[in-house]
Every structure is written in C-alpha cells, then in structure tokens.
Amino acid sequence: MEVIVPFSTDRPKSRLADVLSPDERRAFARAMLTDVLESIVAAGGEPRVLATDAVDVDRPVTVDDRPLTTAVNAALDGHFETAGAADGSVEPVAVVMADLALATPDAVERLFAAGRDADVAVAPGRGGGTNAFVSSHADFRVDYHGASYLDHRDIAAEVGAGFVAVDSRRLGTDVDESDDLAEVLIHGEGRAATWLREAGFVLDTSGGRVGAVRE
C-alpha cells in the first residue's frame, strides 16, 4: 500500500520550543520520521515522504511547500488518478503523520486491516486530530487542523464513504507538547526514545502526572 508521510522540514515541532532548541527539534522530528518509516515498511507499506523541503531519507520524497491540507489533497489526487484496477477496484492509500513516535509495525498493520473493511479508516489523535488514515474512496479529501477527526468523519459521510475509527493508543499518540515526551520515554522503542534519553530527558514522577524533564 502506498503510504504518504507528511513531514515539515522548516520549523518542525514548534510546540516543543519550551524544551528543545530549533536544531534539537529538527533532529528529534527526524528521529520520529525514521521510526515511522521503519514501522510502515515492516507492516508491508510503501512510504513516500511528503515534505515541505528536501529531506535525506532512503525512501522516495515529494517536495511540496504548500500548506498541509493542500499538499495531502494533491497527493490523494495523484494517487486516485492512477489507482483504478481493471476489475473496478481501487488501490487504497494511507496517510500517516511523521510524529507518531510510538507507532509499531503491529499498529500500522491494524490500520491497514481496518482500511480493508471500510472505505475510510481513521486513527484519531488525542484532542481530535487525524493521526493516520487509509482511504480507498476516490472522492475523500482532507481538511486538517482543529478537530479534524470529526471533520473527516463528516467529509466521508458527504462523499458516501463507509467510515470506521481505528482505536489505537500507539497511533493516537502524536508528539506535540512536552507532556507527550513522557509517553515516548515510557513506550517508545525506536530512535526517538533513544534521542530523548541521549539528550538527557528522564521521567519526572515527582508530581501528580508523570512528565519528562531534562537532567
């Protein structure tokens, strides 16, 4: 399955500015991207990075500096122009965000499997975002930001696409804010978790909710 992985190269992870410098945010975002690409490949997907600028990865990259929604919809246009098979079936396509540091091959496989059962299968993020989806409906397009999970459910209904939510803690955890770093330290199995530890982050269990602090 083709899997589009949007990646912002210019000012990634600005909401982590309170704990990471710009260079560190770039390095951490890159580590998460590598983890996500590896999980997709291990799950049998064929990832293609959709980046705002050139990025050095060993997978195909499309550079599109337009806003996220515009760039992803252009990629969906391109996919569905060529996705039809002779028997009338349509090849599905997935979009998986590059900041899903807890993604594992199993979690991505479950997303792919849900996409075989419904026209559109969405893994929501906490707070109502859209962390990953699979679509085999040629008319489904995205509208990111805000509670985009709800918007995407409505868009699927408008175009007559069957919809299913994918209930996944691993795909539901996008790393946006400093509190999210604790999740990576606890559950992360890849480069992003290693990067955080090497940068001096440890769990902070002194308060009410476990957090991440830099030693």
Ligand X SMILES: C[C@H](OP(=O)(O)O)C(=O)O
- Applying CB under 6 A, the residues found at the interface with ligand GTP are 6-8, 12-15, 50-52, 67-68, 71, 97-99, 174, 176
Element (H, E) at 120: strand 120-124
By CB under 6 A, residue 130 contacts ligand X: yes
Task: Give min distance, CB of 35 to ligand GTP, in A.
Answer: 12
Distances (CA, A) of 133 to 61, 143, 179: 19, 13, 24
Separation of alpha carbons 130 and 68, rounded Å: 12
Give the other-Cβ count within 10 Å of 169's Cβ.
12
Q: Which does 125 bind (CB under 5 to 8 A by kind): ligand GTP, ligand X, none?
A: ligand X
Whichever of 147 and 203 has its CB closer to ligand X, that residue is 147
Q: Which residue is nearest to ligand X (CB)?
A: 129
**Of these, 92, 115, 129, 172, which contacts ligand X (CB under 6 A)?**
129
| 45 lines the binding site for ligand X (CB under 6 A) | no
The window from 39-47, 79-87, 141-149, 186-194 that contacts ligand X (CB under 6 A) reads 141-149
Residues 158-177 that bind ligand X (CB under 6 A): 174, 176
In terms of CB distance, is 129 or 188 closer to ligand X? 129
Say how far apart CA 19 and CA 68 lie, in whole Å.
Answer: 25
Cα-to-chain-centroid distance, residue 209: 25
Q: Quickly list H helices, the chain.
A: 22-42, 68-82, 105-117, 148-158, 169-172, 180-187, 191-198
| d(C-alpha 84, C-alpha 146), whole Å | 32
- Measured CA angle at 43 (ends 37, 47), to 5 deg: 35
Q: What is the contact mask toward ligand X in residues 79 to 118, using x (rule: CB under 6 A)?
A: ----------------------------------------
What is the contact mask toward ligand X in residues 51 to 70, using x (rule: CB under 6 A)? -----------------x--
34 touches ligand X by CB under 6 A: no
CB 111 within 8 A of CB 123: yes
**Binding positions for ligand X, rule: CB under 6 A:** 68, 125, 129-130, 144-145, 148, 174, 176
